[in-house]
């Protein structure tokens, strides 16, 4: 995969972005924490709040990162930006308007997997990047595409079945783009998006179902 920019030019985009939008990064993390608490609390109103915040994150990533900064070195970022904004509209439509996204974290594998993915997006992702030498301001922060997509897949795993399949299309396509770009650019922390995407897609298309409750007749 041949990219129209170098790794240094890519990191310079993060530098300009981080210096220009601060303290938006901290606000986005706070919003993510609010979404986590709301998802854990459950209920229709909480699910609408989670969906609204998730929509804001995708809108920000598409408009503030792709269209405003990444497009400077990569013309196709305009397409990425439109796709991310489309995902924002879809999430708000499904979760806020139609109320078809129900976040209800219960015990079991879905709770553990979702929490692990979310923790990766907020904690492990920047720490791995730091270990790779990606230091602020020239480092991806929460709110740019990859950590946003990882966070999204974690929340998708927390959705109750059936999960709308349309919600994973754009994040899944972005995970493919990010996979090849991460290898080309040495952004190894982005490989976590591949694992998150596989978990989110699996939860959406092949949800685990509890076996039906079998009642035995009483024997006199």
Q: What's the pLDDT score for residue 161?
A: 80
Report yes or no on 220 lying in a domain: no
Mean pLDDT for 74-89 is 97
Residue 108 tokens, joined: 């079991």
216 inside domain: no
Number of structural domains in the chain: 1
Confidence (pLDDT) at 208 = 55
Cis peptide before 138 (omega within 30 of 0): no
Q: In the chain, what's the furthest Cα-to-Cα distance?
A: 79
Q: What does the pLDDT look like over 151-177, one tens digit per residue?
A: 999 999 999 988 899 999 999 999 999
Is residue 56 in a domain? yes
Q: Of 2-11, 20-29, 74-83, 150-159, give the lowest mean pLDDT range.
A: 2-11
Domain around 123:
7-204
Q: What is the dihedral angle through the alpha carbons of 85, 64, 193, 90, rounded to the nearest 10 degrees?
A: -20
The verdict on residue 134 lying in a domain is yes
pLDDT at 211: 39
In a domain, 159, yes or no: yes
Give the pLDDT band of residue 20 (cuts 50, 70, 90).
very high
> Does 213 fall in a domain?
no
């Amino acid at each position: 995969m041949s990219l129209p920019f170098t790794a240094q030019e890519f990191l310079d985009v993060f530098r300009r972005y981080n210096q220009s939008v601060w303290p938006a990064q901290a606000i986005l993390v706070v919003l993510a924490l609010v979404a986590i608490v709301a998802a854990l609390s459950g209920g229709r109103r909480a699910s609408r709040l989670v969906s609204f915040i998730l929509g804001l994150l995708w809108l920000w990533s598409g408009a503030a990162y792709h269209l405003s900064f990444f497009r400077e070195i990569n013309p196709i970022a305009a397409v990425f930006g439109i796709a991310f904004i489309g995902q924002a509209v879809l999430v708000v439509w499904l979760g806020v308007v139609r109320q078809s996204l129900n976040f209800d974290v219960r015990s079991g594998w879905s709770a553990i997997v979702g929490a692990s993915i979310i923790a990766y997006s907020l904690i492990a992702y920047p720490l791995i990047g730091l270990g790779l030498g990606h230091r602020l301001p020239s480092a991806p922060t929460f709110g740019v595409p990859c950590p946003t997509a990882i966070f999204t897949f974690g929340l998708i795993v927390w959705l109750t079945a059936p999960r709308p399949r349309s919600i994973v299309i754009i994040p899944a396509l972005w995970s493919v783009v990010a996979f090849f770009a991460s290898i080309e650019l040495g952004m190894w922390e982005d490989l976590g998006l591949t694992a998150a995407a596989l978990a989110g897609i699996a939860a959406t298309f092949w949800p685990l179902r509890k076996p039906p409750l079998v009642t035995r007749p009483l024997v006199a």
